[in-house]
Structure 1
Amino acid sequence: MSKVVNTESVIDLIKDLVNIPSPSGNAYRAIEYTEAFFAQRGIPTKKTLKGMLIATLKGKDDSKHRLLTAHVDTLGAMIKDIKSSGRLTLTNIGGFPWNFVEGEYCQIETSEGKTFTGTILLHQTAVHVYRESGKLDRSPENIEVRLDEKVTSKEEVEALGIQVGDFVSFDPRFEKTKSGFVKSRHLDDKASVAMLLHMADLLKEQNITLPYTTHFLISNNEEIGYGGNSSIPEEVVEYLAVDMGAIGDGQATDEYCVSICAKDSSGPYHLGLRKHLVQLAKDNGLTYKVDIYPYYSSDASMAIHAGYDVIHGLIGAGIDASHAYERTHEESLQNTGDLIFHYLQSKLINE
């Protein structure tokens, strides 16, 4: 089967998105980017009170709707305390162990909108001073930010305008390799957002009218558990989350397939929709894996928990080293994007 998605365009969008700081609770600039993207293509959007963005493509049947979601918020941190030394302690936003960000460059955004850079380090990093540094617990008590400013006291830091509650984002370190890999923080879930944006382009370029009115919901609080679980139009019948496929020991997913989730920690996804997605993958010659994610939930499962009566599913590109320095391959983006394209033009499973 011929390929549909232009992976270079998707990767360009990924690069743009990951370089916009957007930890949960402070994702407004990334939302604004997606809002402008849809507006430039004449696709109407609305923003919810929670700050999510819903773009709507009118379909041939406006009585039954589909909704696809991807989240633009990422892991991050917030300043918990300013030490007397001028170093900063952190509290995490989203779920990750501190060793996953040790040594990473970061950016601090003050409430006045100023930005400062720094590095996340173990307090006892100097091996010439701390003999047991390698054995110490990577905990909030031991992890701190070394500011790239000439400060040696709490007062000097506060004079810069930095205070408790300021957001901290992690340097994505985006890179595309000659062998087709995409390496970056925050591929979860900006790779999926990029695919939905590219999908909007494809549909416009090819003048495709979808069989059903379809919404692209860009959520902004998924990493903290309440992303796309509200503001779902009552006409929505099928709700498909596009998020990362989990890779590791015992997992079927790899960096080259589209991962179709059968179950995560929230429970099974809709069996009929899963079978439909598998058949679409087979019919279109896509590389896919059906998998179970043991420590995971999605915006789709959160919508179910919130009480929405929808058919829910979950697919995504295979992402290695989730919540750390992540990686996927252009083949996975191709297979995932192509499955989205074919799903959007298929019949609802109950028809």
Structure 2
Amino acid sequence: MPTEPSPTSSEDSRPVIDTVYLCNVLRRLLDIPSPSGFTDNVVRACCEELSALGVNYEITRRGAIRACLYGESRRPARAVIGHLDTLGAQVRALKDNGRLELVSIGTWSARFAEGARCTIFMENGSCRGTILPLKASGHTYGDAVDTQPTGWDHVELRIDEHATTRADLDRIGVAIGDVVTIDPQPEFLDNGFIVSRHLDDKAGVAAMLAAIKALADAGKDAGQRPPVDTWFIFSITEEVGVGAAAVLTGDIASMVTVDNGVTAPGQNSRETGVTIAMADMGGPFDYHLTRKLIRLCQDNAIAFQRDIFRFYRSDSASAIVAGHDVRTALITFGVDASHGYERIHLDALRSVAELTAAYVSSDIEIERDAVDLGPLTGFTTQPTAED
């Protein structure tokens, strides 16, 4: 049952999500390294999956994907967006000891980089390595291993090649700016837990694709189309703050972002059900769209909870900052240890996919959104103290 139940809710009305498909897609995406700026291969894989689902798509110059489920009307179009890019690192400097200084791609703590296995992609070939603290051996440094500072200036990458000098690194072909991808090390447990790096936001993308499959399966049976054109967008630069800034069409009036939620002390997010964000560091999400998502959860017996994220921004924020006049909302799957070694539960991914499919199938409530500019007629209202 929903976390916040409604008398009108019915489990029979929930879209049917193929969780086996969802997990298989997630495994495939996790297998493909894709830090921001290094996303070509994961874009190709996502496009292949869209083709298999029979969905038309187009890509931008750099690889952001727009796939359209054509509806009964063109406007006011909707969008659902998730991001394919992940965290990673680049080579900042070649060290005299044959190791590499790093700079992060995206915002994540070097605390979670320590001990990570990784791949360095050079101009010609690649090599493997491990990110280590500068003082990595307790047999040499004793207690100093535990008291040294944490940060990107206090780690180095040890490559698995014969390299003890900078000249060795030059010989191997390592160069400043080379991309370093972090192994996800995924585990899919029988009890529904999924533990891996980069679940942000490949798990969200997998849920989006599972929702598309559910909609396609339902459409084949009933011959139905969404009420309006709905764009499924896959951005490639969310982790560096760009995301949806340049990939929306002018027809899109509302956009739901699918991303990770934060499960931690002081947060209401959970690893079960879908978490609907009421606000993030950019301010409140659209009043009407957010409450529509809540009603859809109640009406379709989709487990959910609400939360506010104080140190978080998503594709929704990048769209607004870029000047798009679009209603935005954020739905999330609860992630423990976000931007670290993350854990989620399949229950939350199923709920995210169910809500996504329900949103795409739902009726248009604000007809005025079909026009960019217009009179006051049809404009929305909000509660007053007298209501």
Range into which the TM-score falls when normalised by the shorter chain = over 0.9
Cα pair 1:186 1:323 within 8 Å, conserved: yes
Residues 26-72 of structure 1 show CA distances to partners (whole Å, capped at 9, x for unaligned) of 11111111111112333221111242111111111113211110000
Residues 166-196 of structure 1 show CA distances to partners (whole Å, capped at 9, x for unaligned) of 0001110110112110111011000011111
Whether 2:166 is the aligned partner of 1:154: answer yes
Q: Using the aligned pairs only, state the percent identity.
A: 33
Counterpart residue type for residue 120 of structure 1: I
Find the partner of 2:138 among 111, 123, 127.
127
Query: For 1:129, what is the secondary structure of its paired residue?
Result: helix
Query: For 1:344, what is the secondary structure of its paired residue?
Result: helix
- In 1, Cα distance between equivalents of 2:300 and 2:51: 31
Aligned to 2:182: 170
Aligned to 2:54: 42
Find the partner of 1:339 among 355, 361, 375.
355
Find the partner of 2:70 among 37, 58, 69.
58
Uncovered stretches (5+) of structure 2, i.e. residues with no partner? 1-10, 368-387
Counterpart residue type for residue 8 of structure 1: V
RMSD over aligned CA atoms reads 1.2
Counterpart residue type for residue 343 of structure 1: Y
Find the partner of 2:102 among 69, 90, 96.
90
Find the partner of 1:117 among 125, 128, 143.
128
TM value normalised by structure 2: 0.88
Q: CA deviation at 1:111?
A: 2.6
Aligned ranges 1:1-351 → 2 under 5 Å:
1-2=11-12, 4-112=16-124, 114-131=125-142, 132-206=144-218, 207=220, 208-351=224-367
Cα pair 2:111 2:150 within 8 Å, conserved: yes
Query: For 1:128, what is the secondary structure of its paired residue?
Result: helix
Q: CA deviation at 1:236?
A: 0.6
Counterpart residue type for residue 324 of structure 1: G
Cα pair 1:270 1:313 within 8 Å, conserved: yes
Uncovered stretches (5+) of structure 1, i.e. residues with no partner? none
Cα pair 1:272 1:349 within 8 Å, conserved: no
User: Which structure: greater helix fraction?
Assistant: 2
- In 2, Cα distance between equivalents of 1:288 and 1:160: 52
Query: For 1:15, what is the secondary structure of its paired residue?
Result: helix
Query: For 1:23, what is the secondary structure of its paired residue?
Result: coil
- In 2, Cα distance between equivalents of 1:63 and 1:343: 15
Cα pair 2:197 2:341 within 8 Å, conserved: yes
Query: For 1:70, what is the secondary structure of its paired residue?
Result: strand
Counterpart residue type for residue 116 of structure 1: C
Residues 263-297 of structure 1 show CA distances to partners (whole Å, capped at 9, x for unaligned) of 00011000111111011101111110110011001
Counterpart residue type for residue 348 of structure 1: I
Query: For 1:158, what is the secondary structure of its paired residue?
Result: helix
Q: CA deviation at 1:341?
A: 1.0
- In 2, Cα distance between equivalents of 1:320 and 1:7: 21
Distance change >3 Å, CA 41–CA 8, structure 1 → 2: closer
Counterpart residue type for residue 212 of structure 1: V
Task: Look at both structures and tell me which one has the larger radius of gyration over its CA atoms.
Answer: 2
Aligned positions, number: 350
Residues 291-345 of structure 1 show CA distances to partners (whole Å, capped at 9, x for unaligned) of 0011001111210111111111100111111000001111111111111111110
Query: For 1:42, what is the secondary structure of its paired residue?
Result: coil
